[in-house]
């Protein structure tokens, strides 16, 4: 079995593999016998490194006591465990003091310690896609919060993925069936209980699980009838439980589902006789867990979603991915409707589409053009984003446009700039055209291709061609940015353009 948890580099962390079958403090086979005292010489345990890594160590109680006793471990790395066997993970080298506490029937306690020396770091133990989806990864210091998929927004998604009879955010079927063929909860079906008050926050740092609720636990009567304040409700039990802070482990057996284990004292919303869960489906926002109720031979399937996705109406499906396509563009601003819908960013108030041609001469005798006013903003521009496709630059890579650069603009005054990295402080008689990837949002400039035509002739219409055939292999561009006057400064100016086209 390969342990696959990720740890913070700032803390000594651990993962404890515990297959708990009851939320009680000690093992189920612990029962009070005749009072008897255990002596220190009777207590011993072994520490055995894993065959795959010396940083994964299994501790085994070898005391061989015949009388009843309970065993609790402190693994020396912030984690604890119970039972005769416990496993600790130590990704960072160092000295760890491990202790085994043995409780005798007469109430006495014997503690045996062992100095565990980890010689080398083994950070290969601490990275996993499963773990990152569960916690949000190393960058998400606040962790990721999961709740029950209260409105069954993702039931169909899980059903399609696992190919089983899945009916709701919680439900059960026959043991080993991995389905809900016996019953599945409808949307908001458990609103009368405290189930939807539960929040489960998994944090990468310290493998922490923080459980928040409204002070009540919920589970099978056959499993939880002994809980404090338990009241029977048909096959179910409602009892006192105030949540808390716990550790957790994620294991990945070869050829099987990943396994999530939480301490026996924790209640993961609905207690079904086990705190070991198979992760049968997992994305960044949806998770389905299977737990086997050994007491009643039932499979329980629970569906959780990220807290922000638990809404009464299902989120709209994501748009299909954009594919490269050659879609010629042309806009002459003569018609009332636009074929190329330019969007302004920080443009001046005088900007207008369409606008009267300032110089209707033979090179551009059309009556309507576009007026572009650069504002005092540092990054004025117009842009067009393809709605559902990417630009196929292998067959469509040239942007043509007619421009008119007025001489009445002030091209000599220096202005405030966005930062020291801006070398030019003046309005310039130039046009820049950029291709960008709109999916990058405000970071689209980082991967853009920009062509600038500078020192343009004034007071006349010019035919300009921007040739992007040099980046014809790029398949991520879907946005065109048009920017007059140079960026990064507060200078203002008026420019005109017309007959914009994008073709070959």
pLDDT in tens, 421-480: 999 999 999 999 999 999 999 899 999 999 999 999 999 999 999 999 999 999 999 999
Whichever domain contains 52, its CATH number is 2.60.40.10
Question: For 325-349, what is each residue's pLDDT tens digit?
Answer: 999 999 999 988 899 999 999 999 9
Whichever domain contains 327, its CATH number is 2.60.120.260
Instruction: Kindly report the number of other CB atoms within 10 A of residue 302's CB atom.
Output: 23
Which range has the worst mean pLDDT, 333-337, 360-364, 392-396?
Answer: 333-337
| β-strand partners of 244 | 211
Q: pLDDT band at 70, cuts 50/70/90?
A: confident
Task: Give the pLDDT score at 206.
Answer: 57
Pairing mode, if any, of strands 216-220 and 270-271? parallel
Mean predicted confidence (pLDDT) in 250-278: 89
Q: Quick one: 398 and 271 in the same domain?
A: no
Residue 64 or residue 26, greater confidence: 64
> Half-sphere exposure of residue 470, counting CA atoms within 13 Å on the CB side?
7
Which range has the worst mean pLDDT, 204-208, 216-220, 273-277?
Answer: 204-208
Task: Give the pLDDT score at 27.
Answer: 39
Task: Give the pLDDT score at 14.
Answer: 35
Q: Quick one: 329 and 303 in the same domain?
A: no
Q: What is the mean pLDDT of the chain?
A: 88
pLDDT at 220 over 60: yes
Domain boundary among 283, 309, 335: 309
Domain limits for position 470: 323-503
pLDDT at 20 over 50: no
Which range has the worst mean pLDDT, 130-144, 189-203, 336-350, 387-401?
Answer: 130-144
Q: Quick one: 496 and 367 in the same domain?
A: yes
Q: Quick one: 356 and 477 in the same domain?
A: yes
pLDDT at 370 over 60: yes
Residue 70 or residue 346, greater confidence: 346
Q: Which residue has the tokens 């984690």?
A: 79
Domain boundary among 104, 126, 148: 126
Q: pLDDT band at 123, cuts 50/70/90?
A: low
Task: Give the pLDDT score at 1.
Answer: 35
pLDDT at 8 over 50: no
Task: Specify if 196 maps to a domain.
Answer: yes
CA distances from 48 to 5, 51, 60, 65 (A): 20, 9, 8, 20
CA distances from 380 to 116, 374, 413 (A): 63, 6, 18
How many domains does the chain contain in total? 3
Q: pLDDT band at 282, cuts 50/70/90?
A: very high
Q: pLDDT band at 108, cuts 50/70/90?
A: confident
Task: Give the pLDDT score at 125.
Answer: 66
Task: Specify if 315 maps to a domain.
Answer: no
SS (H, E, C) 86-115: EEEECCCCEEEEEEEEEECCCCCEEEEEEE
Pairing mode, if any, of strands 323-325 and 389-391? parallel
Structure tokens at 30: 């612990």
Per DSSP, the residues of 272-328 read -S-SEEEEEEE-SSEEEEEEEETTTTEEEEEEEEEGGG--SSPPPPPPPPPEEE---
Q: pLDDT band at 64, cuts 50/70/90?
A: confident
Task: Give the pLDDT score at 66.
Answer: 75
Task: Specify if 314 maps to a domain.
Answer: no
Domain boundary among 309, 336, 362: 309
Backbone angles phi, psi at 61, to 5 degrees: -70, 115
pLDDT over 70 percentage in the chain:
90
Mean predicted confidence (pLDDT) in 397-416: 98
Structure tokens at 231: 């009241």
């Amino acid at each position: 079995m390969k342990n696959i948890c990720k740890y913070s580099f700032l803390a000594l962390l651990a993962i404890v593999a515990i297959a708990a079958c009851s939320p009680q403090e000690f093992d189920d086979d612990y029962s009070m016998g005749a009072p008897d005292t255990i002596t220190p010489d009777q207590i011993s345990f072994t520490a055995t490194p894993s065959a795959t890594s010396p940083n994964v160590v299994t501790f085994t109680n070898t005391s061989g006591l015949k009388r009843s006793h309970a065993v609790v471990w402190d693994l020396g790395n912030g984690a604890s465990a119970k039972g005769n066997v416990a496993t600790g993970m130590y990704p960072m080298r160092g000295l760890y003091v491990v202790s085994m506490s043995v409780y005798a029937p007469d109430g006495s306690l014997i503690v045996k310690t062992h100095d565990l020396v980890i010689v080398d770091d083994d950070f290969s133990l601490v990275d996993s896609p499963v773990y990152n989806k569960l916690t949000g990864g190393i960058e998400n210091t606040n962790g990721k919060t999961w709740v029950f998929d209260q409105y069954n927004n993702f039931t169909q998604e899980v059903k399609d993925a696992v190919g089983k009879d899945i009916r709701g955010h919680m439900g059960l079927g026959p043991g080993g069936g991995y389905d809900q063929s016996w019953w599945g909860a409808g949307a908001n079906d458990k609103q009368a209980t405290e189930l939807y008050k539960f929040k489960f926050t998994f944090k990468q740092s310290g493998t922490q699980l923080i459980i928040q609720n409204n002070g009540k636990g919920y589970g099978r009567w056959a499993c939880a009838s002994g809980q404090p304040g338990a009241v029977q409700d048909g096959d179910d039990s409602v009892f006192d439980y105030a949540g808390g802070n716990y550790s957790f482990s994620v294991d990945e057996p070869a050829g099987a589902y990943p396994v999530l284990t939480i301490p026996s004292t924790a209640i993961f919303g609905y207690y079904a006789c086990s705190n070991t869960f198979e992760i049968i489906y997992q994305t960044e926002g949806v998770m389905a867990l299977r737990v086997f109720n050994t007491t009643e031979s039932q499979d329980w399937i629970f569906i959780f979603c990220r807290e922000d996705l638990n809404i009464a109406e299902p989120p709209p499906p994501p748009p299909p991915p954009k594919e490269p396509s050659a879609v010629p563009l042309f806009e002459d601003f003569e018609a009332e409707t636009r074929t190329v819908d330019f969007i302004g960013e920080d443009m001046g108030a005088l900007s207008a589409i369409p606008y009267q041609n300032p110089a209707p001469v033979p090179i551009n005798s059309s009556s309507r053009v576009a007026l572009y006013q650069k504002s005092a903003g540092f990054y004025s521009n117009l842009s067009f984003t393809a709605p559902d496709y990417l630009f196929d630059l292998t067959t469509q890579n040239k942007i043509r446009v007619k421009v008119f650069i007025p001489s009445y603009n002030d091209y000599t005054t220096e202005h405030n700039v966005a930062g020291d990295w801006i070398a030019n402080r003046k309005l310039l008689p130039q046009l820049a055209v950029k291709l960008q990837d709109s999916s990058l949002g405000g970071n689209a400039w980082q991967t853009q291709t920009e062509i600038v035509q500078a020192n343009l002739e004034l007071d006349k219409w010019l035919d300009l061609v921007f040739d992007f055939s040099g980046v014809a292999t790029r398949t991520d561009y879907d946005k065109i940015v048009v920017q007059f006057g140079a960026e990064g400064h507060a200078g203002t100016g008026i420019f005109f353009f017309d007959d914009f086209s994008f073709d070959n």
